[in-house]
Amino acid sequence: MATHPTQYAHPEALVETDWLEKHLKDEGIRIVESNEDVLLYDTGHIPGAVHIDWRADLQDPVIRDYISPEKFAELCSRNGITRDTTCIFYGDKANWWACYALWAFRLFGHDKVKILNGGRDKWKSEGRPMTRDVPKYPKTSYPAPKKRFDNEIRAFFDEALAQSKSGKPLVDVRSPGEYRGEITHMPEYPQEGVLRGGHIPGAKSMPWKTATNDDSTFKPASELAKIYFDQCGVGPEKDTVVYCRIGERSSHTWFVLTYLLGLNNVRNYDGSWTEWGNKVGAPIEKSA
Per-residue pLDDT, 183: 82
- Measured distance CA(134)–CA(153) in Å, rounded: 32
pLDDT over 80 (residue 3): no
Helix (H) or strand (E) holding 155, with range, is strand 154-155
Per-residue pLDDT, 263: 97
Helix (H) or strand (E) holding 29, with range, is strand 29-33
pLDDT over 70 (residue 191): no
Using CB atoms within 10 A of its CB, is residue 200 exposed (0-12), middle (13-18) or buried (19+)? buried
Q: What average pLDDT score do residues 271-276 get?
A: 95
At residue 14's C-alpha, the angle toward residues 266 and 242, to 5°, is 20
Residue 236 φ/ψ, nearest 5 degrees: -65, -20
Residue 114 φ/ψ, nearest 5 degrees: -145, 165
More confident residue, 185 or 55: 55
pTM: 0.95
Q: What average pLDDT score do residues 229-234 get?
A: 96
Mean of per-residue pLDDT scores for the chain: 94
Query: Which pairs with CB-CB distance under 8 Å and at least 24 residues apart come from 144-147?
Result: 144/69, 144/70, 144/72, 144/73, 145/69, 145/72, 145/73, 145/108, 145/109, 145/110, 146/69, 146/109, 147/69, 147/109
pLDDT over 50 (residue 29): yes
**Are residues 240 and 173 in contact, defined by beta-carbon separation less than 8 angstroms?**
no
In the structure, what pLDDT confidence band is assigned to residue 186 with cuts at 50, 70 and 90? low
pLDDT in tens, 112-168: 999 999 999 999 999 999 999 999 999 999 999 999 999 999 999 999 999 999 999
**Are residues 54 and 117 in contact, defined by beta-carbon separation less than 8 angstroms?**
no
| CA nearest neighbour of 137 among 32, 60, 13 | 32
> End-to-end alpha-carbon separation of the chain, Å?
26
Question: Facing residues of 213 across strands?
Answer: none
Percent of the chain residues past pLDDT 90, beyond the cut: 90
Per-residue pLDDT, 4: 80
Would you name the residues annotated as active-site residues? 244
Per-residue pLDDT, 1: 47
pLDDT in tens, 250-272: 999 999 999 999 999 999 999 99
From residue 198, give the alpha-carbon distance in Å to each of 129, 272, 274: 43, 12, 11
At residue 247's C-alpha, the angle toward residues 245 and 250, to 5°, is 95
- Measured distance CA(40)–CA(242) in Å, rounded: 28
Q: What average pLDDT score do residues 70-81 get?
A: 98
Per-residue pLDDT, 2: 55
Per-residue pLDDT, 256: 98
